[in-house]
């Protein structure tokens, strides 16, 4: 079976990305780490297939991507669309935010993530049988 998550081939790339994070990733990571949102444990720079996600919660299959200047331009837009399509085809929910949203509306971004995470968590929880 092919390993899909956190491939060894991507380890150096993930490490480099973790060690050279832009300020927006640091800002959001401060709010995601330690199960602060809907009791979800997020990972940073997590790989799925040949792609590295900014943040990922395996328990609820939620990916979060932050888009800065490197995501502009026709080639980047097409690459991001193909990447997102592949990741979503694996049953992973994908949230994308612009850097400006992190800088100017971080609380709103966190609220969106929390709402989505809660909905995914409730969807995963099987209904409890009635005690009667």
Tokens of 80: 């991001």
What is the C-alpha separation between 52 and 38, in angstroms, rounded?
A: 23
pLDDT for the residue numbered 82: 92
Largest CA distance in the chain: 60
Q: Which of 73, 75, 65, 74 is nearest to 98 (CA)?
A: 65
**Least reliable range by pLDDT among 2-6, 33-37, 76-80:** 2-6
The more confidently predicted of residues 21 and 35 is 35
Q: What is the mean pLDDT of residues 96-114?
A: 96
Sequence-distant (6+) residues with CB within 8 A of 11 are none
In CATH terms, the fold of domain 8-118 is Endonuclease; Chain A (3.40.960)
What percent of the chain is predicted at pLDDT more than 90? 55
């Amino acid at each position: 079976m092919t390993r899909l998550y956190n491939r060894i081939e991507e380890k150096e790339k993930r490490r480099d990305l973790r060690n050279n994070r832009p300020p927006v990733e640091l800002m959001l990571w401060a709010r995601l780490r330690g199960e602060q949102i809907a009791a979800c444990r997020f990972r940073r720079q997590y790989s799925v297939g040949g792609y590295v996600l900014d943040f990922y919660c395996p328990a609820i299959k939620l990916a979060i991507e932050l888009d800065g200047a490197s995501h502009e331009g026709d080639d980047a837009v097409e690459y991001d669309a193909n990447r997102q399509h592949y990741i979503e085809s694996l049953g992973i929910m994908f949230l994308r935010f612009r850097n400006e949203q992190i800088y100017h509306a971080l609380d709103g971004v966190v609220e969106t993530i929390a709402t989505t995470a809660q909905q995914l968590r409730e969807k995963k929880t099987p209904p409890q049988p009635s005690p009667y």
